[in-house]
Amino acid sequence: MADDASWKLGQDIEIHCRFCRLNLDGVVAALGPEGSLLKVQCRTCRHFQDFKPPADLAAKRAKLVAKAMRIAERHTAGQGGTRGSTKKATPSQTDLSPEAVLRKMWEDATKDAHPLKCRVYDCHRAYKVDELIAHKSRGLGQVREVADGAMVVLFREGFVRLEVERPVEED
């Protein structure tokens, strides 16, 4: 990139276009009295705008991914407990209680699961063992056992027995 004092009208520079929302090539359109950039024109959309240096797209993407993960955690966390509790256990505080073991089993089963890509629970459907489901009040769960008309599902709060393959009643 050139020094501030060496800008010339019509010079090609890289800008962040606020209309295209991308780093693009632009043209110097107006200079200040001391040679500073005042206005540039985007070569793609032809809008005149104040100069804005190119944005770090990797940092911007990382920020958006972090925001999306916080939103996803907010929607899936707290399904069986309080929403505000986000305590992480340190290795020295390892708990071997049955609840902690079930919680660890659930975390291992759903660590790579996306709630929007799992099948939504419906009592009229059939499910397979190890299939991930999304329950509207209990959150994500993994089918552990399927028997006649019922299945056992591991949710965040523990095992729950749910009805399956119920015949549809027609009115």
pLDDT in tens, 76-88: 765 544 444 555 5
Q: What's the whole-model pTM score?
A: 0.44
- Give the range of the structural domain holding residue 15, as residue numbers without chain letter: 9-50
Q: Please state, in angstroms and as integers, the Cα–Cα distance from residue 86 to each residue in 63, 68, 71, 73, 154, following that order.
A: 20, 17, 14, 10, 20
Domain-embedded: residue 169: no
Asked if 46 and 102 sit in the same domain, the reply is no
Render pLDDT for 6-61 as a digit per residue (tens, 0 to 9): 889 999 999 999 999 889 999 999 999 888 899 999 999 999 999 999 988 888 88
Residue 19 within any structural domain of the chain: yes
Is 90 part of a structural domain of the chain?
Answer: no
Looking at the 3D structure of the chain, how many domains does it have? Answer: 2
- Does residue 158 lie within any of the structural domains? yes
Is 75 contained in some domain? no
Residue 81 in any domain: the answer is: no
Instruction: Tell whether 56 is covered by a domain.
Output: no
**150-155 β-sheet, strand order:** 119-120, 132-135, 139-147, 150-155, 158-163
Give the chain's length: 171
- The answer as to whether 100 is a domain residue is yes
